[in-house]
Amino acid sequence: MNRRIIAALYKKEILDILRDKKTILMMIVVPLILYPLMFVGSLALMSSVVNADKAKPYTISFGTSESGEDLGEYFKDKENKYKYSFVIKDGLTDAQDEEKLNSGELDAFVHESVSENKPYYEIGYRASDNDSQTAAEMVRRLLSDYSNDKSIDALEKEGLDPGIILEPIGFTFKDYSSNEENVGFVMGYIIPFLLIVSILMGAMYPAIDTTAGEKERGTLETMLTLPVSGNELITAKFMAVSTIAVGAAILNLLSMAFITAYTVSTAGMVGGNKFDFNVVSFIPTFLITMLCVLVFAMFASAVCMCACIMAKSFKEAQNLTSPVMIVFMICSMAGMIPQMKLDKVTSLIPVVNISLLITDIFSFNFDFSLIAAVLFSNVAYSALAIVIMTRVFNSEDLLFAEAGRSIRIIEKRSDMKKGQTPGIGDLVLLFSILLLIVLFVSSAAVLKIGIWGLAVEQFLILAATVFYAWYIKTDMKALFHIKKPKVIGLPGAVISWVGALLIAVVVSDILIKLFPGMNTDTGLGELWDGKAFWVVVVNVAVMPAICEEAAFRGFMLGTLEKKMRPMAAVIITGIIFGAYHMSIMQLILVGALGILNSYVTQKTGCIFLSVLMHFLNNFSSVAVSIYPEKVEGVLPFLVEESLDIKTMVILVAAGIVLLALGILLVNKSAKAEKIVVGNA
């Protein structure tokens, strides 16, 4: 690639981006003006509301006292202590109190009753009225004081020391954290979320403008006619978007520093003590944060451009980037979850690792091995996204094709053509729906009806998939690979699954030894404790084998194999299937098995073989969990906690042989099918 050409294109892209008002708004106005105004304004508003609540007089009524206590006089005496202001209403009956409370004439009332020689007080208020809530809280606090005063009086009458009886021990808090650590803790709690979102927002609009925006304006085709290569053009666009994203992040970082300084100084003035901390101690933190900003800006820019490059208009690009924004926002909250820590596993999870790393370094926890893992993994993810983006940009079929980017379900069904293939947008939308079912519906169903909730989840997955395919009038038989399997394909599928299982056992053992925090436990074992074996098999093996295969080896593989090369479709489907299980271990192991299932389905054109493989895989897990002793007698390596080197070598060798033999039979089945079709 020619550096001078890239530099010229880069300059052109930067100027074009900076002419866009949305970019200026998100890059300059929001971080430097809107954020400080919102923060300072909210503090001032909260302060004024609190002061106004205290200064406002509240109307209180006390019913007839059965014990003869005069609470009204006590409340008036305590007004100065809390700076409260009460208007006391006397002579009202209980019915009148309720009527006037509902009409708004009273903010709260207190009714007294006597039980077991002790007075009880009911505080009447309206939770739907802010003034009534405030008045009720004031009354509660004063009644607490009243109760304490009564206890002190009773003890003094008995000649006892109230201080010893009521407070037999004393305690104080002493904070041994430095001011720098306290400030870093607060900043590390909120900065990762704001920084990640600001980088994404800074990258999103330039990414849309330089890809879908140029398509909509008709300038991208003109650019492609110039004597520049596609790689040079996309490199310049990527550099420009990354520059804007980094600039937006730096401005946001400065804005956050100002807000933090303002908050610290305000806290010092309010507390009456000067709050000093050493800014120099934060220099390593800010330097590492800047490195995080740089590598994450590249990753965010590449991801946004990958999403936007398939869109034909600005509006469509916004729709495609919305799921990206949601995922990034959820992952950026990892630093706010106390249980989540930066370790060997989380350091490899995109977005999550940046959030946890920033949280750690602001708490002055510098583990340079984990820092390196986070930075290098983000560089690797960025490189992968750039490769994908470049491949798409250099392919006019993908860059400008209607079928590759559309979401067909938004069209009227009456306007759709029969036998059409779903678009990539349909695939993304369906996958999002499946994730929502797993995350929300599944949990509620399991809590309500136990293990049968898993069947409900799987039924909804199947229903959503089939309905989606039916609505867009796709060829159901072709999309879902519904075809009778060849005889030779059946043993090929089973043998290849056995080989893959043997290798997966070894890989799983190695991963657990390398990363002790990782495990293959899905947490479902508790659900089937005490349940009949057939019930567990139906819910854990049969239903997922049918429903998940319809979604992944049916809808998703059937869509992708029409948009790209067969092996690319197979690999991507397997990776999506692994990601669907939302676990690093499952991503690796289930993803690999998913690739095998996809390969078998793609080669034979028969989804029933992958259904069988999926069933066998889940059935074996159920058998190991419920009957470990019996399984150990036949296949001990499936239940052993740790494998020795000799066993590993034997399993891997046997697995490779069986996997190769199974794939060979599957390929023969595919060739036999082609011969039959050719002769026909």
pLDDT band (50, 70, 90) for residue 72? confident
Taking residues 620-649, report their average pLDDT: 85
Architecture of domain 56-161: 3-Layer(aba) Sandwich (3.40)
Beta bridge partners of 58: 86
Tokens 């209980």 identify what position? 94
Tokens 């981006």 identify what position? 17
Q: Which amino acid is at 383?
A: A
Contacts of 129 (CB under 8 A, 6+ apart): 104, 107
Residue 477, pLDDT score: 92
Tokens, residue 401: 């094709």
Share of the chain above pLDDT 90, in %: 16
Tokens, residue 243: 């520059």
Helix (H) / strand (E) element for 164: namely helix 162-166
Cα separation, 523 vs 520, in Å, equals 9
Cβ-based burial of 106 (10 A; exposed 0-12, middle 13-18, buried ≥19): buried
What is the average pLDDT value for the chain, to the nearest integer? 80
DSSP for 345-382, written as a single string: TGGGSTTHHHHHHHHHHHTT---HHHHHHHHHHHHHHH
Residue 261, pLDDT score: 67
- Nearest Cα neighbor of 220 from 237, 245, 205 is 237
pLDDT tens digits, one per residue of 358-402: 888 888 888 888 888 888 888 888 887 777 777 666 655 455 554
**Adjacency order of strands within the sheet including 108-115:** 86-89, 58-62, 108-115, 118-124
Residue 218, pLDDT score: 73
Cα separation, 36 vs 29, in Å, equals 10
DSSP for 109-135, written as a single string: EEEEEEETTEEEEEEE--TT-HHHHHH
Q: Which residue spans of the chain are classified as CATH 3.40.190.10?
A: 56-161
Task: State CA 7 to chain mean position distance.
Answer: 37
Cα separation, 562 vs 604, in Å, equals 16
Residue 495, pLDDT score: 94
Tokens, residue 460: 């909804």
Beta bridge partners of 88: 60
Tokens, residue 520: 């293959």
pLDDT tens digits, one per residue of 317-338: 777 777 778 778 878 888 777 7
Cα separation, 557 vs 598, in Å, equals 7
pLDDT tens digits, one per residue of 277-292: 666 777 888 888 888 8
pLDDT tens digits, one per residue of 167-177: 888 878 887 77
**Could you tell me which residue, 599 or 33, shows the higher pLDDT?**
599
pLDDT band (50, 70, 90) for residue 653? very high
Residue 308, pLDDT score: 80
**Could you tell me which residue, 231 or 462, shows the higher pLDDT?**
462
Torsion of the alpha carbons at 637, 638, 640 and 643, rounded to the nearest 10: 50
pLDDT tens digits, one per residue of 508-524: 888 887 766 555 555 56
φ, ψ for residue 565, nearest 5 deg: -65, 150
Of 19-23, 155-159, 211-215, 447-451, the one with minimum mean pLDDT is 19-23
How far lies 376's CA from each of 260, 299, 384, 587, in Å? 30, 11, 12, 20
